[in-house]
Amino acid sequence: MLSILAAGSIFFPGLFLLSKRCLKQAPGLKWSEADAVIVSARLVSSIQAVLASSAGFIIASSCEDIIEDKHWLTSTYILFAVPYFIYDIYAMFLCYWYKMQVKGHEEDAPKTSTAIRSYLWREFLMVLHHVVMVTVCFPVSVFWRQGKGDYFQGVMFLAELSTPSVCLGKILIQYKQQHTLLHKVNGALMLVTFFVCRVLLFPYLYYAYGRYADIPLYMVPLSIPWQYNMGAALLMAPQVYWFCLICRGAFRLFTRASRHHRPSVSRDSEPKTPIMPPANGYSPRDTEREPNTH
């Protein structure tokens, strides 16, 4: 157990530092510290998402009995991924810190204590989500469930399928590429994957258990311990909130595009940068204040 935790503690921060160094020193790139930090954080989040989704697919497809069947990868990847959520809290703060610094005015950057308070206030929900993953979901998944329900754990890993598109969207916003076809296609992909993999995830888990127990879907909440219902509700609530932000951002993006093609609409009437969800990142207000470093 300790060796797997140690491996995760080395892998994710190490990957972040390696990516940042390559972006800053590679010939033809020579990115600034701020750009390298922000893109490296997104890259690590995307890689973690690919690893988690791959593990989830292997686990879910290997379990015929959704309650009793076990797969060694379930607890192994949970242990490996726990350090990621701790690292990511710090990585998100670094991104927030550099976003608050306008190019050419680094001397006006806020004090560290002020920045931390502001970061915790603005990103409270995301930080809370990460803390809960470490302090609650980790012990529940590894110890409390006593090796049962690996199938459900694997399906929950598949929620990370939406993360790469979220990260790419934030990078495109950072480089002011909201007008590109790539941003629109990625936005549509993010909308679909987030809804399917995060919002529909919990109803599907209830449906899967209903089939296993041969009971109607509406009876499932009444036939399982209340702790499961409460846990599902607490995990699903922020996903629904973030999905609403994605929908709002998509609406503003396509509204802006339609207004842009109207000759009677002036540039001053166009909306600001579309809002993106804070999932694995930052709030809409922060994306609008991103410094134009290119």
Domain for residue 280, yes or no? yes
CB 281 within 8 A of CB 91: no
Give residue-wise pLDDT tens across range 146-155.
Answer: 788 999 999 9
Average pLDDT in the chain: 83
294 found inside a domain: no
**What's the pLDDT at 258?**
63
Enclosing domain of residue 97: 2-288
Average pLDDT of the segment spanning 12-17 = 96
Neighbouring CB atoms inside 10 A of 170's CB total 25
- 293 in a domain, yes or no? no
Residue 217 maps to a domain: yes
Evaluate if residue 278 carries a pLDDT over 60. Answer: no
Q: What is the mean predicted confidence (pLDDT) over 228-252?
A: 88
Please report whether residue 55 resides in a domain. Answer: yes
Q: According to the model, what pLDDT value does residue 51 have?
A: 96
* Total tally of structural domains belonging to the chain: 1
The pLDDT of residue 260: 59
List the one residue out of 152, 160, 166 whose CA is nearest residue 208. 152
Cβ atoms of residues 9 and 81 within 8 Å: no
Check pLDDT > 80 for residue 163: yes
Cα 224 from Cα 218, distance rounded (Å): 12
